[in-house]
């Protein structure tokens, strides 16, 4: 049994289906062709193109080692979600300590402040559209703003400090990019 037939047989066994349901070939001049189960597409593509096979090997290695770009972005997305919750809770607690209630617009104002420092617009952001680097900066800005809120630093001062922090952060990233080149 060659490796292709072995692959199909093993996939059928694991999937609990008939081998014939995974690969269908029909001869004919006008209606002929080959249909394969999607689980066979990558092995077939790997067989067709050595460069693609090697690319797949690198992707698998990155997934195993935990340094795949998807995971880095997901980690940054998770960190930004956590930092946002912390910032919101510190806002609520500091206002509560001051005898004030916290309304939805208070949370929105803090989020929009951080978004403005990140993206230059005082509005909501689609976090799912941000890059891993943007998400990392966003999380850092939210953490920093939470510390400033907890320290009682006024809005205008926080705004200036966050702007400077973002400039410094971006400059530090440029140095990292320059060294990597």
Identify which of 151, 149, 143, 130 has the alpha carbon closest to the alpha carbon of residue 169: 143
What is the number of structural domains in the chain?
Answer: 2
Regarding whether 33 and 104 lie in a shared domain, the answer is no
Identify which of 26, 128, 33, 115 has the alpha carbon closest to the alpha carbon of residue 77: 128
Give 146-157 pLDDT, tens digit per residue: 999 999 999 999
Question: Which one of 65, 98, 117 terminates a domain?
Answer: 65
Question: Which one of 65, 89, 104 terminates a domain?
Answer: 65
Residue 23's beta-bridge partner residues? 36
Contacts of 68 (CB under 8 A, 6+ apart): 59, 62
The CA radius of gyration of the chain, in Å to the nearest whole number, is 26
Give 32-77 pLDDT, tens digit per residue: 888 888 888 888 888 888 988 888 888 777 767 666 666 677 888 8
CA–CA separation, 143 and 87 (whole Å): 7
CA–CA separation, 83 and 118 (whole Å): 14
Give 76-133 pLDDT, tens digit per residue: 888 999 999 999 999 999 999 999 999 999 999 999 999 999 999 988 899 888 888 8
Question: Which one of 20, 36, 65 terminates a domain?
Answer: 65
Regarding whether 118 and 59 lie in a shared domain, the answer is no
Regarding whether 97 and 52 lie in a shared domain, the answer is no
Regarding whether 92 and 46 lie in a shared domain, the answer is no
CA–CA separation, 31 and 33 (whole Å): 7
Regarding whether 160 and 148 lie in a shared domain, the answer is yes
Regarding whether 112 and 41 lie in a shared domain, the answer is no
Range of the domain at 61: 3-65
Regarding whether 55 and 132 lie in a shared domain, the answer is no
Regarding whether 137 and 73 lie in a shared domain, the answer is yes
- Please tell me the pTM assigned to this model: 0.61
Tokens coding 3: 């490796």
């Amino acid at each position: 049994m060659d490796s292709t037939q072995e692959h199909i047989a093993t996939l059928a066994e694991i999937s609990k289906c008939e081998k014939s349901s995974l690969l269908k070939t029909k001869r004919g001049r006008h209606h002929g062709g080959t249909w394969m189960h999607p689980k066979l597409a990558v092995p077939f593509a790997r067989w067709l193109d050595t460069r693609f096979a090697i690319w797949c090997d690198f992707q698998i290695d990155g997934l195993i080692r935990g340094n795949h770009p998807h995971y880095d972005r997901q980690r940054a997305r998770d960190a930004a979600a956590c930092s946002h919750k912390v910032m919101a809770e510190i806002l609520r607690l500091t206002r509560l300590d001051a005898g004030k209630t916290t309304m939805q617009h208070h949370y929105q104002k803090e989020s929009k402040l951080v978004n403005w420092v990140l993206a230059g617009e005082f509005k909501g952001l689609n976090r799912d559209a941000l890059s891993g680097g943007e998400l990392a900066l966003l999380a850092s800005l939210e953490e920093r703003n939470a510390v400033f809120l907890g320290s009682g630093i006024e809005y205008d001062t926080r705004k200036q400090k966050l702007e400077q922090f973002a400039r410094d952060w971006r400059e530090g990233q440029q140095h990292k990019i320059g060294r990597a080149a």
